[in-house]
Structure 1
């Protein structure tokens, strides 16, 4: 799937690709890191990403589920574009106050499209999916800004999730290569 914004990959790559040694959530070590907060903090770039992600949403969704923390600003931006309510999904339920896993409308029996910033192995998405399903939600799709997983591999196939990405690592690498010519 290719973005309809032809310059988005180059702009995201220039904005948020960092070089060095980074430990990913999965525990993997990487010599590059896509700091999604750099594009999420830029209102114009965030709006462009949100527009592209909105085009990838399944038609039968009831709620967006923005994953803590990076998925929340994206889900909020998409929600404002399309008018769909949003859940803010925590990594784990609060131990105080309402003790909720997800803040927002009730989700039991509703179809949630998860919104994530970057997926490599899908650990955070997998955890959220399991928790939301245990609460009665129907979760079968995640839409992300960047899919870093190996090309042709769905890291969330084991939990029956379809991954839809605005950009893949290969597309970002191609944008980087084109910029250096």
Structure 2
């Protein structure tokens, strides 16, 4: 059950209307500027707190995706004591040349932490890369799931999506 007060607060702060091109290339008339809630310590804390019950109990690492998943993963890590991992969009080409900064992922259960999922492109890419590095990745926990109700855009890579809020819940808060 969604936290309706949280949905209303995120909707009021983050919902933008206009014409927006999403990472997937889709054009949307509504955009949720997640950086607005991520930059607000009290709101970020509320989102992270809601994520705690969504985490699989066997999570060994929290994989925050660049860039929006990183502040959320850091806050969840501080609340749980579970180490965070910072996952880049692509491996850096200098220094350690790592895709994922933090502890070694090989043989460990990584729960991906993301801000907003629409088609899941960034999560899919990160999942494939983490699995290539030996991680066990089965769940992504996100702040906002914008994908169509009843659809899992990440089913093709065997990921379960657990969300704090859905687009429908934010829409309900907007019209309330």
Report 1:5-84 matches (<5 A).
5-84=3-82
Which structure 2 segments of 5+ residues have no match?
Answer: none
Give the corresponding residue for 1:148: 146
Name the SS for the 1:7 alignment partner: helix
Residue 177 of structure 1: CA displacement?
Answer: 0.7
Residue 46 of structure 1: CA displacement?
Answer: 0.2
Please give the alpha-carbon distance, in whole angstroms, between the structure 1 residues aligned to 2:175 and 2:122.
30
Quick check: 1:113 aligned with 2:106? no
Which structure 1 segments of 5+ residues have no match?
Answer: none
Tell me the TM-score normalized by structure 2: 0.99
Q: Which of residues 165, 173, 176 is equivalent to 1:175?
A: 173
Residue 167 of structure 1: CA displacement?
Answer: 0.3
Task: Point out 4+ residue stretches in structure 1 off by more than 4 angstroms.
Answer: none
Q: Which of residues 127, 130, 137 is equivalent to 2:128?
A: 130
Please give the alpha-carbon distance, in whole angstroms, between the structure 2 residues aligned to 1:177 and 1:34.
16
Aligned length: 176
- Cα RMSD (Å) of the superposition? 0.6
CA contact (8 A) 2:4 2:173 kept: no
